[in-house]
Amino acid sequence: RLLADVIPPNDIGVTFDDIGALENVKDTLKELVMLPLQRPELFCKGQLTKPCKGILLFGPPGTGKTMLAKAVATEAGANFINISMSSITSKWFGEGEKYVKAVFSLASKIAPSVVFVDEVDSMLGRRENPGEHEAMRKMKNEFMVNWDGLRTKDKERVLVLAATNRPFDLDEAVIRRLPRRLMVNLPDASNREKILRVILAKEELASDVDLEAIANMTDGYSGSDLKNLCVTAAHCPIREILEKEKKERNLALTEGRAIPSLHGSEDIR
């Protein structure tokens, strides 16, 4: 059941180059995660440079937090384990505690690994939540115990990366365990242009497409919104072709001519 949520590094399919803008966040992640793996000798002196065990990515929806977590795993050659409340409710209903234990045990076994907790607020939100279910409380405790257990057992090899749109809803105990917090904000115009360039890097564009102008017209758009905009735009030529074909068929009908087929290979009467 759990293996379905694990992606080996070569199958993740996201690298830092696939992420437009967010240079500061990418650089910090490289320094915090990749460098200690690649140059451990730089980090072995003293307590202050010890590898970080937890990083929080926070910011509005669709700004690339999941992509960043995946890119970290890819570039660190680590397995990516995606854990979420939806997995617990769909596959592990009533067994949250077991699930959490299994995740950490698997993460250690297949280390190096990145444990990505998406929407961490829904899983590890404030403890004083009045309606909180006993099973939920137990699951959270299990999470903390296993997370702390990692510190001595699996130094440097299992990283917990958490993401949220609601950082203020997080439990204090969780915040303490995520000492590095990186804001992943909505892009400004010049960053929107960079994101558009990355999204469209492998696409054939009409000669009059002006990405700078589009970036200037899309204030408030997230990376995800820009992706949706590009997908919608990419469908326009398809729609235009179908429209044109429909018009030609209607015209042929009214004129009593052979009706061109959908694929243009044969005529239909």
For binding to ligand ATP (CB under 6 A), which residues are involved? 19-22, 61-67, 118, 163, 165, 195, 198-199, 223-224, 227
Could you give the C-alpha distances from 221 to 69, 195, 226, 228, 264, in angstroms and in order? 21, 11, 6, 10, 40
CA distance 123 to 142: 12
Closer by beta carbon to ligand ATP, 58 or else 92: 58
Sheet holding 54-58, edge to edge: 6-7, 79-83, 113-117, 158-164, 54-58, 180-183
Distance between CA atoms of 266 and 258, rounded to whole angstroms? 10
- Residue nearer to ligand ATP on the CB measure, 150 or 226: 226
Structural tokens at position 98: 């077991």
Least distance between ligand ATP and beta carbon 53 (Å): 21
Q: Which is nearer to ligand ATP, 232 or 254 (CB)?
A: 232
Residue whose tokens read 């042929």: 252
Q: Nearer to ligand ATP by C-beta: 150 or 162?
A: 162
Tokens 């617990």 label which residue? 88
Nearer to ligand ATP, 36 or 116 (CB): 116
- Residue 84 CB, shortest distance to ligand ATP, in Å, is 10
Q: How far is the CB of 187 from ligand ATP (least distance, A)?
A: 7
CB of 145 to ligand ATP, least distance (A): 27
Instruction: Say if residue 232 is exposed, middle or buried (CB neighbours under 10 Å; 0-12, 13-18, 19+).
Output: exposed
Of the pair 118, 154, the CB lying nearest ligand ATP is at 118
Nearest residue (beta carbon) to ligand ATP:
223
Q: At what angle do helices 223-255 and 189-199 cross, to 10 degrees?
A: 60
* Least distance in angstroms from the C-beta of 61 to ligand ATP: 3
Q: In 30-113, where does DSSP find H-type helix?
A: 35-38, 65-76, 85-91, 96-109
> For 39, what's the count of Cα atoms within 13 Å in the CB-facing half-sphere?
8
CB of 107 vs ligand ATP, minimal distance in Å? 20
Answer positive or negative: Cα dihedral of 192, 195, 197, 200: negative
Residue closer to ligand ATP by CB (options 139, 196) is: 196
Closest separation in Å from C-beta 192 to ligand ATP: 9
Q: What letter would DSSP give residue 168?
A: G
